[in-house]
């Protein structure tokens, strides 16, 4: 963690606003079921997550977004009312790390014309979490990867049909019935110590830790000054 703490004497913060969305065909739930049933090895990893869904979910954007900064937008009309929004859009600074709110298993990663760079994960209780419009997928994040709470997923972006708009994370939760509203369950904020601990792991796996540290201190200087003051 020393690079951002050492750099925490200068810089400013930035923010983004507005919205992007997802677009899917009618067989999406079938595709998700298929992602979860690819091999016996994957099934064993998913089974180890347990049968109880996580009721209170932590903010997946690691820095710069508090619970008071998000507003419900699940079900909002899209494309003139021809479809509805299936997730929660969380506005953030492009390039900010996104972390898994729960233990999870990566099901699928890739790039699509509407979703941009995306990651699907299996989560406790038979749920599937989806992260879209990523600037890039996290280093080492690939199908079959077992994640702990706070593990890197990717970085906030505006890829896919969010291209040209404000950077944000499009975050979805699916159960056996389909997409459900994430907003009521986004009720946990990571402590400063948890954020720094997560970042320590991320810096060890990212391709360019110095560049990431400089970016974070430039945009979230106060976080690291507070960490210094608290001897975290």
Per-residue pLDDT, 77 = 58
**Structural contact between residues 96 and 155, judged by C-beta atoms closer than 8 angstroms:** yes
Q: What is the 3-state secondary structure (H, E, C) of 149-198?
A: CCCEEEECECCHHHCCCCCEEEEEEEECCEEECCHHHEEECCCHHHHHHH
Residue 75 — very low, low, confident or very high, per pLDDT cuts 50/70/90? low
Residue 4 — very low, low, confident or very high, per pLDDT cuts 50/70/90? low
Q: What tokens appear for 136 in the block?
A: 């890039």
Per-residue pLDDT, 84 = 59
Beta-bridge partner residues of 122 = 105, 128
Per-residue pLDDT, 177 = 84
**Structural contact between residues 104 and 121, judged by C-beta atoms closer than 8 angstroms:** yes
Tell me what the mean pLDDT of segment 189-201 comes to: 95
**Structural contact between residues 124 and 103, judged by C-beta atoms closer than 8 angstroms:** yes
pLDDT digits (tens, 9 = 90+) for 6-55: 554 433 332 232 233 344 444 788 899 999 999 999 999 999 999 999 99
**Structural contact between residues 158 and 133, judged by C-beta atoms closer than 8 angstroms:** yes
Instruction: Round to whole Å and give the CA distance between 150 and 98.
Output: 9
Per-residue pLDDT, 24 = 43
Mean pLDDT of the chain: 87
């Amino acid at each position: 963690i020393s690079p951002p703490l050492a750099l925490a004497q200068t810089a400013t913060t930035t923010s983004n606003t507005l919205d992007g969305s997802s677009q899917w065909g009618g067989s999406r739930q079938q595709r998700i079921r298929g992602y979860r049933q690819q091999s016996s090895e994957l099934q064993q990893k998913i089974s180890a997550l347990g049968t109880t869904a996580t009721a209170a979910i932590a903010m997946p954007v690691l820095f710069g977004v508090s619970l008071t900064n998000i507003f419900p937008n699940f079900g909002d009309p899209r494309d003139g009312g021809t479809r509805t929004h299936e997730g929660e859009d969380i506005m953030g600074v492009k390039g900010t790390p996104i972390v898994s709110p729960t233990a999870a298993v990566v099901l699928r990663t890739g790039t699509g014309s509407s979703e941009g760079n995306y990651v699907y994960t299996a989560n406790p209780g038979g749920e599937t979490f989806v992260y879209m419009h990523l600037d890039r997928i996290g280093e080492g994040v690939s199908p079959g990867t077992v994640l702990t709470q706070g593990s890197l997923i990717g970085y906030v972006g505006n890829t896919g049909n969010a291209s040209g708009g404000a950077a944000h994370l499009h975050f979805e939760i699916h159960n056996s019935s389909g997409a459900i509203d994430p907003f009521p369950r986004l009720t946990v904020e990571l402590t400063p110590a948890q954020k720094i601990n997560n970042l320590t792991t991320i810096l060890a796996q990212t391709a360019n830790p110095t560049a990431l540290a400089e970016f974070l201190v430039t945009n979230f200087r106060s976080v690291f000054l507070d960490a210094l003051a608290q001897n975290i």
